[in-house]
Chains A and B, each alone.
Chain A
Amino acid sequence: MEKLKDAFDFSDFSKAERLCLAIFSVFLLAFPWIGAGSFVKTVMIQFLLFSMFGMGWNTIGGYGGQVELGKAQYVGIGSYTVALMMVWWQIPFWISMPIGILIALGYSFIIGYPLFRLKGHYFAIATICTSLVLKDIFDNWNLVGAAKGIELPIHEHPDFLYMQFKSDTYYYYFIMVLFYIALFYMNWFRKSKLGYQLRMIKDDEDAAESLGIDIRWCKIKAYSIASAFVAVGGGFMAVYNLYIDPASVMELSLSIKIALMAMLGGAASLWGPIIGAAFLVPLDRFLGSWLGGHGGLIGLDFMIYAMLIMVVSAYQPRGIWGIIEQLRHKGS
């Protein structure tokens, strides 16, 4: 019960922040009724999905300060579990998604145990390696469709058990619920014992160790939490897109995007990943559809994207939230 209270308790934020959250929540609830086009709707769904990914990454990458660049493998695990169970055994989404989470958790413990012997650059590159190994395996494994990917069977009638709907609105509300679960969980997490331990580890590992914190175990726990978040999102991607292949759910660029949204918005803050996703997802989608459509301009959208990364990391590594806080301190 105490934990639940902590999760819904936003009282340590300033009044302005709470007001923004309230307005934002009203907007999210009302969004499907303001008559936005289907393209804007898909962008909103992507935005909620990526904020959730970013919040997951924030546990290990933001609060824990570990540069984790292999989250795509858990997106893959989540979405492949849902898709394969549905294709092979017609198992409903509501059973296969929790199983996907369990697989992601188990896998993350197995990988995390050797992974967290490493620090800094070694760790970052190793996370990329593990992700690429899994992608290579799925790319060549005929049983799971290899590089062709798998298509989910389409039901004639909308089916809640299999999460198949005719309209995007249902998907929108579903991902919104997931988003709020993630948000409340993160609100609890940042005040939990593990959250404080992680911040301590980020600041000074030696000091944390001398206080009796089991550094490696803490990191593994945070890593697994992040993986579970991402696997849920992966499961959603499978039922939403109805088609998955290694290139869309396990690509390195997906890992980068997840980490980047959290970092651009502001790592180790509750709002950071949401701000980052609110900024990058529309940018990505609109640039992609405007520029990518014109034959000669392929790549220009990613050039702008990359330049943004370079500028942020050179001038304000704490991201957009860092800029806002700086302005606020100047103001007061």
Chain B
Amino acid sequence: MFLIDALLQGILMGLLFALVALGLTVIFGVMDIVNFAHGEFLMLGMYTIYWINKLFGIDPLLALPASTLLGALLGVASYYWFIKYLLRGPAIAQLFGTFGLMLFLQYTAMFLFSADYRMIDKGLLVGKSLSVGPFVFDWTKLAAGILSLIAFAFVYYFINKTKTGKALQATALNKEAASYMGIKTERMNAIAWAIGGATVGTAGGLLVNFYYAYPMVGILFVMIAFACVALGGFGSIKGVFFAGLLIGILEMTFPVFGQIIGSDFLGPHFKFTVVYLAYFIIVVVRPQGLFGWKN
């Protein structure tokens, strides 16, 4: 009983995780760069909605486009002002560079908003729940899961069906060949960053409905996103969707297993430890992930 409940909750969380990880995998696929600052885009998306709600009293769900837009702008700005210059250097500089960006955004948020934990307390869905038979769902989580699914489907459609999306895929497969075909690869990179930022900004806007916003919230979610991306296979969009669901279920059901066994050592403190371990085991045992095509 607990297990089924945890499973359903896990699926809802998993849909959100998939949306967070989607941007990471798109950016990695197109330009082979790991964006450590991804979680901070999420954090800023959360703060955007929080402040809009606090200052103007606009419902967090109606304000969602603001966090999407902010995410996209952040993505494009960091590409043109920073990432572009990193690409000239070796891989180690790229890793440190995005790491620096991560620290910068974290501490800027801390400087501006202080280290307080902030949560939205009024809104259309906040605090309301839906009961279906024996199961109780928070409306906020339900909305987050469903809207994440819609956003994911939209990006999937964009990348697979539109001309720009196909150009993105071509760039991911072979940058040089793509540029011979007249694809402006630099613009493709910027589009990848825009998609990455927009999706993760949206996820942040959804997350803040039921999760605290604080400057360091990003590192937790970026680690989850790394695990999803590794499990799905770096650069695979289909993979990241199923991986997100799996990780969500794992994270939610793990404490329940602990309860069933009656062991303290499997308590909820360790639910994210499991995610880190999962990443480690996945990349060691199956580096290409479930659906990966890049080595």
Contact = CB atoms under 8 A, between A and B. Distances in A.
A309 B97 contact: yes
A313 interface: yes
Interface string B213-256: 00100010001001000100010000000000000000000000
A313 B110 contact: no
Contact of A125 (B82, B90, B108, B226): B226
B258 to A, nearest CB: 12
Contacts of A163: none
Interface stretch (A10-18, A20-28, A115-123, A219-227): A115-123
B44 to A, nearest CB: 14
A120 B99 contact: no
A309 B269 CA distance: 32
A299 B108 contact: yes
B110 A298 contact: yes
A158 B97 CA distance: 45
Contacts, number: 131
A140 interface: yes
A314 B97 contact: yes
B277 interface: yes
B34 A303 contact: no
Q: Which of A140, A256, A299, A307 has the most CB of B within 10 A?
A: A299
Interface stretch (B49-57, B153-161, B165-173, B278-286): B278-286
Contact of A299 (B110, B226, B270): B110
Interface in A194-235: none
A256 B36 CA distance: 13
Q: How large is the interface on A (under 10, 10 to 19, 20 to 34, 35 or more residues)?
A: 35 or more
Contacts of A124: 34, 95
B77 interface: no
Interface string A280-314: 00000000000000000111101101111110111
A308 B267 CA distance: 40
Interface in A233-268: 252, 256, 259-260, 263, 267
A126 B100 contact: no
A263 B100 CA distance: 13
Interface string B76-115: 0000001001100111111111011111101111110011
A71 B132 CA distance: 49
Given A303-B104, A307-B104, A313-B89, A252 B272 contact: no
Interface stretch (A36-44, A128-136, A168-176): A128-136
A144 interface: no
Interface string B262-294: 000001011011001101100110010000000
A67 B95 contact: yes
Contacts of B86: 313-314
Interface residues of B, number: 46
Contacts of A331: none
Q: Which of A132, A137, A303, A313 has the most CB of B within 10 A?
A: A313
Contact of A118 (B92, B103, B277, B284): B284
Contacts of A118: 283-284, 287
Contacts of A298: 110-111, 114-115
A54 interface: no
Contact of B284 (A67, A117, A259, A312): A117
A302 B106 CA distance: 9
A317 B215 CA distance: 28
Given A118-B284, A309-B103, A263 B96 contact: yes
A88 interface: no
A306 B92 contact: no
Contacts of B279: 125-126, 129
B283 A313 contact: no
A245 to B, nearest CB: 16
A315 interface: yes
B280 A313 contact: no
B95 A121 contact: yes
A67 to B, nearest CB: 5
A114 interface: yes
Contact of A317 (B93, B106, B270, B272): B93
Nearest to A260: B96
Nearest to B89: A317
Contacts of A276: none
Contacts of B267: 140
B284 A306 contact: no
A67 B91 contact: yes
Q: Which of A140, A260, A310 has the most CB of B within 10 A?
A: A310
B234 to A, nearest CB: 8
A56 interface: no
A133 B226 contact: no
Contact of B107 (A128, A139, A263, A299): A299
A260 B28 CA distance: 23
17 contacts: A122-B230, A125-B279, A126-B284, A129-B223, A129-B279, A132-B273, A133-B277, A140-B269, A300-B107, A303-B111, A305-B107, A306-B101, A312-B96, A313-B93, A313-B94, A314-B89, A314-B97
Closest 10 pairs (CB-CB, A-B): A309-B100, A317-B93, A306-B104, A299-B110, A306-B103, A313-B97, A299-B111, A302-B107, A310-B100, A299-B107
Interface of B: 28, 34, 82, 85-86, 89-97, 99-104, 106-111, 114-115, 215, 219, 223, 226, 230, 234, 267, 269-270, 272-273, 276-277, 279-280, 283-284, 287
Interface of A: 61, 65, 67, 114-115, 117-118, 120-122, 124-126, 128-130, 132-133, 136-137, 139-140, 252, 256, 259-260, 263, 267, 297-300, 302-303, 305-310, 312-315, 317
Given A136-B272, A305-B103, 5 more contacts: A128-B223, A133-B277, A140-B269, A310-B100, A314-B86
